[in-house]
Amino acid sequence: MDAIVNNTHITDAEWEVMRVVWANDRVTSKKVISVLKEKMDWTQSTIKTILGRLVEKGILNTDQEGRKFIYTANIEEKEAVRDYTEDIFNRICNKKVGNVIGDIIEDHVLSFDDIDRLEKILEKKKSFAVEEVDCNCPEGQCECHLHHH
Ligand SMILES: [Zn+2]
C-alpha cells in the first residue's frame, strides 16, 4: 500500500464504491454494479465513471486480467475513516471535541468489548489530561475569545 495517492478526499458517491472494494478486496466493475445498482439507483455508466475517478485520484488501483479490470484499494478503510473523522474535528474548536465525542458515544449502540476498550483508553488518557484544552481557532470563529474580553 505504498502507491501515491493524489487526492485523498473521497466524495459521498465514491465512498459507496469504496465500501464495496474494501469489503471484497478485489472487485470487477460488474461486482460494484451488482451491489450498488439497487441501493443507489445508479446506471452502469455512472458506476464506471466513479471507478475511473477513483483510479485517477490514486485511491484505486486497476489491473487488467484477460478482458476484465480488477480494482483494488490504495487506502485502507481504517485510514480513510480516520481521515474523515479528522476532517470533522478540524471544523470545530478543540474545546468542543470532548463534548462531541461524548455525544457520539451516547448516540450509538456499543458492545461490552467496545465499552471495555473505551474505558481502557480513557483510563490511559487520564495521565495526560490537561486542566483546560487550548483553543486553536482564529478570533471570531469560536466563542472562546469573547470570554477573555
Ligand atoms: Zn476556539
pTM: 0.79
Distance 97 CA to ligand 1 centre (A): 10
Of 105 and 5, the structure prediction assigns the larger pLDDT to 105
Cell output for 128:
495526560
> What count of other Cβ atoms lies within 10 Å of the Cβ of residue 112?
7
Distance 80 CA to ligand 1 centre (A): 26
92 DSSP assignment: S
Cβ neighbors of 96 (< 8 A, separation 6 or more) are 142
pLDDT score of 52 more than 70:
yes
Cell output for 67:
478482458
- The band of 3, judged by pLDDT with boundaries at 50, 70 and 90, is low
Cell output for 28:
470487477
Average pLDDT over every residue of 128-137: 93
Distance 59 CA to ligand 1 centre (A): 33
Query: pLDDT digits over 83-131, tens only?
Result: 999 988 999 999 999 999 999 999 999 999 999 999 999 999 999 999 9
